[in-house]
Amino acid sequence: MKGKFITFEGIDGAGKSSHVEWLAEWLRARGIVVQVTREPGGTELGEKLRALLLNEPMHLETETLLMFAARREHLARLIEPALARGEWVVCDRFSDATYAYQGGGRGLDRNKFLTLEHWVQERLQPDLTLLFDLPLDIARERIVLANRVLDKFEQERVDFHERVRQAYLERAHGNPSRIQVINADNSIDNIRKKLEKILLVNCL
Ligand code: TMP
Protein backbone atom coordinates (compact mmCIF):
# COMPACT_ATOMS: atom_id res chain seq x y z
CA MET A 1 0.00 0.00 0.00
CA LYS A 2 1.29 3.42 -0.95
CA GLY A 3 1.28 6.15 1.69
CA LYS A 4 0.01 9.67 1.13
CA PHE A 5 2.12 12.69 0.28
CA ILE A 6 0.90 15.99 1.74
CA THR A 7 2.63 19.32 1.16
CA PHE A 8 2.31 22.75 2.79
CA GLU A 9 2.83 25.91 0.74
CA GLY A 10 2.44 29.67 0.99
CA ILE A 11 4.29 32.98 0.93
CA ASP A 12 6.81 33.75 3.67
CA GLY A 13 4.93 34.76 6.82
CA ALA A 14 1.81 32.73 5.99
CA GLY A 15 2.30 30.70 9.18
CA LYS A 16 2.15 27.25 7.55
CA SER A 17 5.10 25.75 9.41
CA SER A 18 3.37 25.97 12.79
CA HIS A 19 0.68 23.61 11.45
CA VAL A 20 3.02 20.98 9.96
CA GLU A 21 3.92 19.22 13.21
CA TRP A 22 0.35 19.58 14.51
CA LEU A 23 -1.02 17.79 11.41
CA ALA A 24 1.56 15.02 11.76
CA GLU A 25 0.48 14.45 15.39
CA TRP A 26 -3.19 14.49 14.35
CA LEU A 27 -2.47 11.76 11.79
CA ARG A 28 -0.33 9.74 14.23
CA ALA A 29 -3.23 9.76 16.69
CA ARG A 30 -5.16 7.92 13.93
CA GLY A 31 -2.50 5.20 13.75
CA ILE A 32 -0.71 6.53 10.67
CA VAL A 33 3.10 6.47 10.48
CA VAL A 34 4.19 9.96 9.41
CA GLN A 35 7.50 11.41 8.22
CA VAL A 36 7.78 15.17 8.64
CA THR A 37 10.23 16.89 6.34
CA ARG A 38 10.91 20.12 4.45
CA GLU A 39 12.31 21.66 1.26
CA PRO A 40 14.83 22.77 0.43
CA GLY A 41 16.34 20.21 2.81
CA GLY A 42 15.11 16.97 4.29
CA THR A 43 18.37 15.06 3.75
CA GLU A 44 21.93 15.73 4.90
CA LEU A 45 22.93 16.95 1.45
CA GLY A 46 19.63 18.81 1.02
CA GLU A 47 20.19 20.76 4.25
CA LYS A 48 23.66 21.80 3.01
CA LEU A 49 22.08 22.98 -0.25
CA ARG A 50 19.42 24.80 1.80
CA ALA A 51 22.10 26.83 3.60
CA LEU A 52 23.48 27.93 0.22
CA LEU A 53 20.08 28.55 -1.34
CA LEU A 54 18.80 30.70 1.51
CA ASN A 55 21.93 32.79 1.91
CA GLU A 56 24.08 32.99 -1.24
CA PRO A 57 23.18 35.24 -4.14
CA MET A 58 23.20 33.16 -7.37
CA HIS A 59 21.89 33.08 -10.93
CA LEU A 60 18.20 32.23 -11.20
CA GLU A 61 18.86 29.02 -13.11
CA THR A 62 21.55 27.95 -10.63
CA GLU A 63 19.00 28.50 -7.86
CA THR A 64 16.36 26.48 -9.71
CA LEU A 65 18.74 23.63 -10.51
CA LEU A 66 19.88 23.43 -6.88
CA MET A 67 16.27 23.38 -5.67
CA PHE A 68 15.58 20.43 -7.97
CA ALA A 69 18.90 18.75 -7.11
CA ALA A 70 17.98 18.86 -3.42
CA ARG A 71 14.51 17.56 -4.37
CA ARG A 72 15.92 14.62 -6.34
CA GLU A 73 17.96 13.58 -3.32
CA HIS A 74 14.97 14.06 -1.03
CA LEU A 75 12.71 11.94 -3.24
CA ALA A 76 15.26 9.16 -3.62
CA ARG A 77 16.36 8.94 0.00
CA LEU A 78 13.30 9.86 2.02
CA ILE A 79 10.02 10.54 0.23
CA GLU A 80 9.78 7.61 -2.21
CA PRO A 81 10.98 4.92 0.24
CA ALA A 82 8.58 6.18 2.94
CA LEU A 83 5.60 6.19 0.56
CA ALA A 84 6.56 2.70 -0.67
CA ARG A 85 6.52 1.46 2.96
CA GLY A 86 2.96 2.79 3.26
CA GLU A 87 3.98 5.72 5.46
CA TRP A 88 2.66 9.24 4.99
CA VAL A 89 4.98 12.13 4.20
CA VAL A 90 4.14 15.66 5.37
CA CYS A 91 6.48 18.08 3.62
CA ASP A 92 6.91 21.80 4.26
CA ARG A 93 7.12 23.05 0.62
CA PHE A 94 7.73 21.12 -2.61
CA SER A 95 7.70 21.92 -6.35
CA ASP A 96 4.81 24.37 -6.15
CA ALA A 97 7.30 26.59 -4.28
CA THR A 98 9.67 26.48 -7.27
CA TYR A 99 6.76 27.32 -9.55
CA ALA A 100 5.81 30.27 -7.33
CA TYR A 101 9.23 31.64 -6.24
CA GLN A 102 11.54 30.94 -9.16
CA GLY A 103 8.72 31.05 -11.76
CA GLY A 104 6.39 33.75 -10.43
CA GLY A 105 8.80 35.69 -8.25
CA ARG A 106 11.90 35.62 -10.42
CA GLY A 107 10.43 34.98 -13.89
CA LEU A 108 11.94 31.56 -14.70
CA ASP A 109 10.83 30.28 -18.11
CA ARG A 110 7.83 28.00 -17.54
CA ASN A 111 9.11 25.34 -19.95
CA LYS A 112 12.37 25.06 -18.01
CA PHE A 113 10.35 24.52 -14.83
CA LEU A 114 8.22 21.85 -16.53
CA THR A 115 11.31 20.08 -17.92
CA LEU A 116 12.95 19.87 -14.50
CA GLU A 117 9.71 18.90 -12.75
CA HIS A 118 9.20 16.02 -15.18
CA TRP A 119 12.84 14.93 -14.98
CA VAL A 120 13.01 14.92 -11.19
CA GLN A 121 9.52 13.73 -10.28
CA GLU A 122 8.23 11.98 -13.39
CA ARG A 123 4.53 11.72 -12.56
CA LEU A 124 4.77 12.01 -8.79
CA GLN A 125 2.73 14.89 -7.35
CA PRO A 126 1.49 15.42 -3.80
CA ASP A 127 -1.84 13.75 -3.03
CA LEU A 128 -2.87 16.95 -1.27
CA THR A 129 -1.35 20.42 -1.06
CA LEU A 130 -2.43 22.91 1.60
CA LEU A 131 -1.82 26.44 0.32
CA PHE A 132 -1.82 29.04 3.10
CA ASP A 133 -2.91 32.31 1.56
CA LEU A 134 -3.15 35.78 3.08
CA PRO A 135 -2.62 39.44 2.12
CA LEU A 136 0.99 40.53 1.77
CA ASP A 137 0.85 43.25 4.42
CA ILE A 138 -0.24 40.78 7.12
CA ALA A 139 2.46 38.28 6.11
CA ARG A 140 5.14 41.02 6.19
CA GLU A 141 3.94 42.18 9.61
CA ARG A 142 4.32 38.63 10.97
CA ILE A 143 7.88 38.43 9.63
CA VAL A 144 8.81 41.78 11.20
CA LEU A 145 7.26 40.77 14.53
CA ALA A 146 9.26 37.51 14.56
CA ASN A 147 12.32 39.76 14.91
CA ARG A 148 14.99 37.42 13.49
CA VAL A 149 17.61 37.57 10.76
CA LEU A 150 15.87 37.39 7.38
CA ASP A 151 16.99 34.98 4.66
CA LYS A 152 17.55 35.88 1.00
CA PHE A 153 13.92 35.32 0.03
CA GLU A 154 12.42 37.11 3.02
CA GLN A 155 14.58 40.12 2.16
CA GLU A 156 13.01 40.40 -1.30
CA ARG A 157 10.77 43.38 -2.06
CA VAL A 158 7.01 43.38 -1.64
CA ASP A 159 6.39 43.14 -5.42
CA PHE A 160 8.43 39.89 -5.53
CA HIS A 161 6.24 38.38 -2.80
CA GLU A 162 3.08 39.63 -4.52
CA ARG A 163 4.15 37.79 -7.70
CA VAL A 164 4.87 34.66 -5.63
CA ARG A 165 1.39 34.86 -4.09
CA GLN A 166 -0.29 35.31 -7.47
CA ALA A 167 1.68 32.38 -8.96
CA TYR A 168 0.58 30.14 -6.07
CA LEU A 169 -3.06 31.13 -6.61
CA GLU A 170 -2.74 30.53 -10.35
CA ARG A 171 -1.24 27.08 -9.68
CA ALA A 172 -4.12 26.31 -7.29
CA HIS A 173 -6.60 27.41 -9.93
CA GLY A 174 -5.01 24.98 -12.41
CA ASN A 175 -4.97 22.07 -9.91
CA PRO A 176 -8.23 22.44 -7.98
CA SER A 177 -8.50 18.82 -6.86
CA ARG A 178 -4.95 18.69 -5.45
CA ILE A 179 -4.41 22.20 -4.03
CA GLN A 180 -6.71 23.45 -1.25
CA VAL A 181 -6.43 27.17 -0.50
CA ILE A 182 -6.63 28.02 3.19
CA ASN A 183 -7.32 31.53 4.46
CA ALA A 184 -4.28 31.98 6.70
CA ASP A 185 -5.54 35.29 8.09
CA ASN A 186 -7.50 33.35 10.69
CA SER A 187 -7.11 32.00 14.22
CA ILE A 188 -4.97 28.90 14.78
CA ASP A 189 -8.09 27.05 16.00
CA ASN A 190 -10.12 27.89 12.92
CA ILE A 191 -7.26 26.89 10.63
CA ARG A 192 -6.91 23.55 12.42
CA LYS A 193 -10.64 22.85 12.13
CA LYS A 194 -10.40 23.58 8.42
CA LEU A 195 -7.35 21.28 8.06
CA GLU A 196 -9.17 18.43 9.85
CA LYS A 197 -12.14 18.81 7.53
CA ILE A 198 -9.97 18.82 4.39
CA LEU A 199 -8.06 15.74 5.56
CA LEU A 200 -11.24 13.83 6.41
CA VAL A 201 -12.82 14.61 3.05
CA ASN A 202 -9.73 14.13 0.87
CA CYS A 203 -7.44 11.57 2.48
CA LEU A 204 -9.08 9.44 5.17
P1 TMP B 1 10.81 27.98 4.45
O2 TMP B 1 11.28 29.22 5.11
O3 TMP B 1 9.34 27.89 4.31
O4 TMP B 1 11.41 26.75 4.98
O5 TMP B 1 11.31 28.08 2.91
C6 TMP B 1 12.56 28.49 2.59
C7 TMP B 1 12.55 29.49 1.47
O8 TMP B 1 12.91 28.85 0.24
C9 TMP B 1 11.23 30.22 1.21
O10 TMP B 1 11.49 31.61 1.20
C11 TMP B 1 10.82 29.77 -0.16
C12 TMP B 1 12.10 29.32 -0.81
N13 TMP B 1 11.93 28.26 -1.80
C14 TMP B 1 12.07 28.55 -3.15
O15 TMP B 1 12.34 29.69 -3.51
N16 TMP B 1 11.91 27.55 -4.06
C17 TMP B 1 11.64 26.25 -3.70
O18 TMP B 1 11.51 25.38 -4.56
C19 TMP B 1 11.52 25.97 -2.28
C20 TMP B 1 11.24 24.56 -1.85
C21 TMP B 1 11.67 26.98 -1.38
**177: exposed, middle or buried (Cβ count in 10 Å: 0-12, 13-18, 19+):** exposed
Going by pLDDT thresholds of 50, 70 and 90, the confidence category of residue 204 is confident
- Encode pLDDT of 58-108 as tens digits: 999 999 999 999 999 999 999 999 999 999 999 999 999 999 999 999 999
Ligand 1 is surrounded, with C-beta below 6 A, by 12, 38-40, 54, 67, 92-93, 97-98, 101-102, 153
Domain boundaries of the chain, sorted by first residue: 5-202
* Rounded distance from Cα 197 to ligand 1 centre (Å): 27
Buried b (16+ CB within 10 A) or exposed e, 47-70: eebbeebeeeeeeeeebbebbbbb
Looking at residue 82, what is its pLDDT?
Answer: 98
* Rounded distance from Cα 1 to ligand 1 centre (Å): 30
Q: Whose CA is nearest to atom 16 of ligand 1?
A: 98
Going by pLDDT thresholds of 50, 70 and 90, the confidence category of residue 2 is confident
Residue in 16, 18, 21, 39 to alter for ligand 1 test, most ligand atoms within 8 A of Cβ = 39
Q: Whose CA is nearest to atom 13 of ligand 1?
A: 97
- Encode pLDDT of 110-143 as tens digits: 999 999 999 999 999 999 999 999 999 999 999 9
Residue in 95, 131, 153 to alter for ligand 1 test, most ligand atoms within 8 A of Cβ = 153
pTM: 0.97
Assigned CATH class of 5-202? alpha beta
Q: Whose CA is nearest to atom 10 of ligand 1?
A: 153
